[in-house]
C-alpha cells in the first residue's frame, strides 16, 4: 500500500513539474562607482607622431599620438592652449578599424570616445564627458565597448566585454555619478555577453552548455523564458 502511495506521489510531482511554466528569474546587480582617469600635463616635445586627431565643437582637439621616449600610443587633449595626456590608448601597428576617436552620446551627455587595443582580446576605451569639469571628466573602460539604451529611457548606457571567456560590465549614471557592475562577479556567472544588441539580450552561463537569456531593467537582470 505504501509503495503505491509513493508511486502516485512521484507521478503527481512529475506531471506538475512538466506542466507548470517556470517563473522568470530576476537577479539584482551590484554597482560600484567607476574610477576617474587622472589627467596629466603633456609636454609637446614628447610627441613623436600624431596618428589621429579630431577637433570638437568647443574648439578642443583630441589626439592619438606616438610617444617619442617609449613608442607608446597615447591619448591627448589640447584644451585652452594647454596639452594633457590621458594614458596609453593602443599598441603600435593597430589596424585602423580597432583604434579611433568618435563623438558619442552616453547617459544623455556628449562624450568623446578614444579607443584602441592593448593586446590580443584586450580592447579598451576612454570616455571624455566634455561638458563636465575637466579633472574627473574621463573614465577608462576595459573591453570591447558599445553604447546602448538598455532600459529604454532614451539615454544610452555603456556595455563592455573582456576576455576569451567573456566578462561583461554595465555602466550607468545615477544621481550624476557613473557606476559599473561586473555581471560575472555580481551574480556568480561563469561568463556573460551582450549576445543580441537589437533585442538587448544578454547570454549568461552559470554552468557549461546551459545558456540563459536576460534583459536589463533598472539594476536587475530579468530572465527571458520561452
pTM across the whole model: 0.87
| Distance of alpha carbon 136 from alpha carbon 49, whole angstroms | 27
Residue 144 phi/psi, 5° resolution? -75, 125
pLDDT tens-digit profile of 35-59? 999 999 999 999 999 999 999 987 8
Cα 37 from Cα 97, distance rounded (Å): 24
Cell of 9: 506521489
8-39 confidence digits (pLDDT tens): 443 344 344 443 334 458 999 999 999 999 99
Secondary structure class of 96 (helix, strand, coil)? helix
pLDDT in tens, 140-156: 999 999 999 999 999 99
- Please state the rounded mean pLDDT for residues 180-202: 97
Strand partners, 146: 159
Q: Which single residue is written with the C-alpha cell 544610452?
A: 156
What's the CA gap between 54 and 107, in Å, rounded? 22
Q: Are strands 40-41 and 82-90 parallel, antiparallel or unpaired?
A: antiparallel
Comparing CA positions, the residue from 150, 161, 162, 153 lying closest to residue 198 is: 150
| Residues recorded for the chain | 226
Q: Which residue has the higher pLDDT, 97 or 15?
A: 97
> Computed over its alpha carbons, how large is the radius of gyration of the chain?
23
Contacts made by residues 136-145, CB under 8 angstroms, sequence distance 24+: 136/36, 137/36, 138/36, 138/37, 138/39, 138/86, 139/34, 139/35, 139/36, 139/37, 139/171, 139/178, 140/35, 140/37, 140/87, 141/169, 141/171, 142/169, 143/167, 143/168, 143/169, 145/113, 145/115
**Alpha carbon 86 to chain centroid, angstroms:** 19
Amino acid at each position: 500500500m505504501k509503495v503505491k502511495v509513493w508511486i502516485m506521489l512521484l507521478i503527481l510531482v512529475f506531471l506538475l513539474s512538466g506542466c507548470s511554466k517556470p517563473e522568470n528569474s530576476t537577479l539584482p546587480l551590484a554597482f560600484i562607482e567607476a574610477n576617474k582617469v587622472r589627467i596629466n600635463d603633456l609636454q609637446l616635445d614628447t610627441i613623436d607622431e600624431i596618428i589621429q586627431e579630431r577637433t570638437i565643437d568647443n574648439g578642443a582637439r583630441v589626439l592619438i599620438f606616438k610617444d617619442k621616449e617609449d613608442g607608446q600610443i597615447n591619448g591627448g587633449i589640447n584644451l585652452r592652449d594647454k596639452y594633457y595626456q590621458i594614458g596609453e590608448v593602443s599598441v603600435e601597428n593597430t589596424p585602423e578599424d580597432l583604434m579611433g576617436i568618435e563623438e558619442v552620446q552616453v547617459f544623455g551627455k556628449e562624450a568623446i570616445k578614444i579607443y584602441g587595443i592593448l593586446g590580443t582580446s584586450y580592447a579598451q576605451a576612454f570616455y571624455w564627458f566634455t561638458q563636465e569639469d575637466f579633472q574627473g571628466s574621463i573614465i577608462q573602460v576595459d573591453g570591447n565597448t558599445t553604447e546602448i539604451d538598455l532600459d529604454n529611457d532614451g539615454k544610452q548606457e555603456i556595455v563592455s566585454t573582456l576576455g576569451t571567456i567573456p566578462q561583461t560590465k554595465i555602466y550607468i549614471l545615477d544621481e550624476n555619478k557613473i557606476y559599473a557592475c561586473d555581471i560575472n562577479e555580481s551574480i556568480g556567472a561563469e561568463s556573460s555577453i551582450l549576445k543580441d544588441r537589437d533585442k538587448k539580450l544578454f547570454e549568461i552561463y552559470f554552468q557549461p552548455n546551459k545558456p540563459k537569456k536576460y534583459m536589463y531593467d533598472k539594476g536587475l537582470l530579468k530572465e527571458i523564458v520561452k
